[in-house]
Amino acid sequence: MEEFLQQVINGLSLGAIYALIALGYTMIYGVLRFINFAHGDVFMVGAYIGFFVYPFLSEALGTGYLTAIAVLVAAMLGCGLLGVVIEFLAYRPLRNRPKLTVLITAIGVSLFLEYTGQIDFVFGADYKTYPTLVERSAVFSGSGLSLGSDQVIVFVVAIGLMLLLRVIVMNTKIGTAMRAVSMNLGAASLMGINTNRVISFTFFLGSALAGAGATLYAMSYPKINPLMGVLPGLKAFVAAVLGGIGNVPGAVFGSFFIGTAETMTAGYISPTFRDAIVFGILILILIFKPSGLLGKGGVEKV
Amino acid sequence: MNLRLLTTAAAIALFTLAGCTKTGGDKPEESATIKIGQIASMTGKEATFGQQVDDGIKLAIEEINNAGGLLGKKLELITEDTQSQTPPTKTAMEKLVSKDQVVAVIGEVASSRSMAAAPIAERAKVTLISPASTNTNVTLDKDGKTLNYVYRICFIDPFQGTVMAKFASENLKAKNIAILKDNANDYSVGLAKNFTETFTKNGGTIVEEQAYEGGQTDFKAQLTAIKAKNPEAIFVPGYYTEVSLIAQQARELGIKAPLLGGDGWDSPVLTQGAAKEALEGSFFSNHYSEQDTSAVVLEFIKRFKAKYNEVPGAMSALGYDAMNIIAKIIKDSGKADAETIAKGLATLKDYPGVTGKITIDPQHNANKPAVVLQIKDGKYSYYSTINP
């Protein structure tokens, strides 16, 4: 029983990180109706931003929670800006082209980030050790269960950011505009909404969440490399599809589901299947409920 | 019909011409240097393996060239990066043997990648000397016959697995041990198998066996299953990238048992960051210890420090030995060709290397002792030597 509960904790803390990435996929899909396949690589860049700013921040602020928060904020801002730049340079010129064109461009941007990152004077292809932001220790340990400090931080930060996102989307003017754009881009623009600004802001928000996810991920698994975004990115994408792409609570639910399913498979069946199970779930959901568990019906043509 | 005839004729003409340049030229020009090839993981997941071997080889070459070279020629090293992956390894090996026409190739560290390069060496009749691949099958073909042109100057997995199993039952007095191995890695699987055989023969029990795949970052699921069995130690015969993550996640789950491992742990980045505390008190078997006080080791460390300003790891020592062995064979025989080097290696006996006395056995493996190191304060401290 303890073993099972421990696996649940492991799975949920992995899922919380996926959720931060999945929210970006889902929000961008929500406003623009296309899947930003470069999102996982924006996540990767977030980890490297943390890696590079840490020496300066720790010198200025010492080591401790303050620095950790500063690194998190730096990664979020950096990724947010990167997202805005990518949208402006790669996607905006194609706004009125077929969706397939934008989708292919997204894959191009993804490969561009991955392979540019591997060049020696950018990030380099070798694995780098991410700095220890917060001392790792067992916060709670008893009756066979153990909750690590990084797991607690992952939960707190992830859930905090998700609530913040909800407030922004539901209770602010720009959030209302985002929802309007996601319903109908053309109509929203006729109603006097500056759609370009709203789309830029959505990219900023989604990418910033990926930056936060990257910081939490690299803190939990402190080895980073230019291809690290591929698998978490794909899994978060599956989570977003599972929950119903374009649906914010759905992305969160899907992420926790995927994280737990993956951990349970590794723990009880075989770690060989941990990636297979995730993509198996994707195939099943596409066959039986393509709109996702919490998504609304409707035919979408990409 | 006519067209076909024409193309056939053209093809024949081309082939004959190509044949001419090859046979007619024989040795187009005597090359000005003796070319030695290297396939190494200079980048990628196991980058420090390749970089360390490279440092060792370069030191040896510099010393030889400064002393006037061999047979009146300088040595030239051509290094090809395998990116810690198998497909580029094959490409690199093909390039070295065909385009560069090297007399011997040193490399790879990882057993899986040496196995990918071995058939190419055999076909091209160019000697491949692995500095550190310990999997038994590296020097064997698929029928278990020893390959003519593939050698290694390190011990093999059965020995390394046995060393750690012996160490676990005799020095640690452990009865219950769990294993966490890399299922996608020939080296790791081999070590786990040999560890299990010896450890159970000595009366111990493997209470849990879990696996992962290289490149993964989350091991909590497997470690949770291991924790439930409460083992006295965990044998993790993987490579350093994963080992440092495994150690941290194990400590976080509240596992206090020490980890045990093999030479795949040896890297300056193993104990970086939080892994330093997580690995404190763990043990692994290795080829040499920098705390060895024999004259040959002291001299090597002194020269290495003078060039690179750091203490050499085992991979550097093995690279240094591999290069010097090739040089010795060329010098003793007075010939620098692949055939001579292969023959010289087959008969190598009691070579006084930095990593111990090296004698090549009929299966082309080196017979030599292993050392067990303990991690203390993030540094490797010598614990004991175990002889074959």
Contact between B371 and B382 under an 8 Å Cβ cutoff? The reply is yes
Question: What is the per-residue pLDDT for B42?
Answer: 92
For the CA atoms of A212, A218, A219, A223, what is the dihedral angle to 10 degrees? -170
The CA distance from A41 to the nearest CA of chain B, in Å, is 17
Q: DSSP H helical segments within B253-356, as ranges? A: 275-278, 295-308, 314-333, 338-346
Pair type for strands B283-286 and B259-261: parallel
Interchain contact A140–B (C-beta under 8 A): no
Confidence (pTM)? 0.83
How many Å apart are CA B388 and CA B166, to the nearest integer? 12
Residues of B with Cβ-Cβ distance to A63 under 8 angstroms: none
What chain B residue is nearest to A141 in terms of C-alpha separation?
B254
**What residues contact residue A240 under an 8 Å CB cut-off, 6+ apart?**
A22, A25, A26, A29, A250, A251, A254, A255, A292
Contact between B75 and B36 under an 8 Å Cβ cutoff? The reply is yes
Helix (H) or strand (E) run with residue B222 in it: helix B220-227
CB-nearest partner of B274 from A120, A124, A222: A222
Residues forming beta bridges with residue B356, ordered by sequence position: B353
Question: What is the per-residue pLDDT for B11?
Answer: 55
Whether A127 sits inside 8 A of B47 (CB atoms) is: yes
How many Å apart are CA B177 and CA B259, to the nearest integer? 10
Question: What is the per-residue pLDDT for A146?
Answer: 81
**What residues contact residue A229 under an 8 Å CB cut-off, 6+ apart?**
A40, A41, A42, A43, A44, A45, A113, A114, A214
Q: Give B13: exposed, middle or buried? Use CB within 10 Å, 0-12, 13-18, 19+.
A: exposed
CA B204 to chain centre: 30
Residues of A with Cβ-Cβ distance to B273 under 8 angstroms: 129-132, 222
For the CA atoms of B234, B238, B241, B242, what is the dihedral angle to 10 degrees? -50
Taking alpha carbons only, the member of B371, B382, B383 closest to residue B172 is B383
pLDDT by position in tens, chain B (length 388): 455 655 555 555 555 444 444 444 444 456 789 999 999 999 888 999 999 999 999 999 999 999 998 998 999 999 999 999 999 999 999 999 999 999 999 989 999 999 999 999 999 999 999 999 999 999 998 888 999 999 999 999 889 999 999 999 988 999 999 999 999 888 999 999 999 999 999 999 999 999 998 888 899 999 999 999 999 999 999 999 999 999 999 988 889 999 999 999 998 889 988 888 899 999 999 998 888 888 999 999 999 999 999 999 999 999 999 999 999 999 999 989 889 999 999 999 999 999 988 999 999 999 888 999 999 998 999 998 887 6
**Residues, chain B, total?**
388
Whether B221 sits inside 8 A of A3 (CB atoms) is: no
For the CA atoms of B386, B188, B53, B73, what is the dihedral angle to 10 degrees? 90
> Helix, strand, coil % (nearest 5) of chain B?
45, 20, 35
Residues forming beta bridges with residue B209, ordered by sequence position: B179
Question: What is the per-residue pLDDT for B3?
Answer: 55
Question: What is the per-residue pLDDT for B205?
Answer: 94
Pair type for strands B74-81 and B33-40: parallel
3-state secondary structure of B313: coil
How many Å apart are CA A100 and CA A79, to the nearest integer? 25
Contact between A226 and A234 under an 8 Å Cβ cutoff? The reply is no
Tokens of A38: 């470069």
Q: Give A88: exposed, middle or buried? Use CB within 10 Å, 0-12, 13-18, 19+.
A: middle
Residues of B with Cβ-Cβ distance to A266 under 8 angstroms: 218, 221-222
- Determine what percent of chain A is predicted with pLDDT higher than 90: 61
Give B27-32's long-range contacts (Cβ < 8 A, gap of 24+).
B31/B101, B32/B73, B32/B74
Question: What is the per-residue pLDDT for B360?
Answer: 93
Taking alpha carbons only, the member of B221, B213, B261 closest to residue B240 is B261
Q: What is the pLDDT of residues A115-169, one digit of tens each?
A: 999 888 899 888 889 998 888 777 777 767 888 888 889 999 999 999 999 999 9
Concatenating the DSSP letter of every residue in B33-78 gives: EEEEEEEE--SSTTHHHHHHHHHHHHHHHHHHHHTT-BTTBEEEEE
How many Å apart are CA B29 and CA B17, to the nearest integer? 19
Contact between B214 and B45 under an 8 Å Cβ cutoff? The reply is yes
Residues forming beta bridges with residue B34, ordered by sequence position: B75
Contact between A35 and A24 under an 8 Å Cβ cutoff? The reply is no
* Model confidence band, residue A299 (pLDDT cutoffs 50, 70, 90): low
Interface of B with A in 168-207 (CB under 8 A): 183
Q: Average pLDDT of A7-35?
A: 90
Q: Chains A, B: CB contacts under 8 A, how many?
A: 106
Phi, psi dihedrals of residue A62, rounded to the nearest 5°: 75, 180
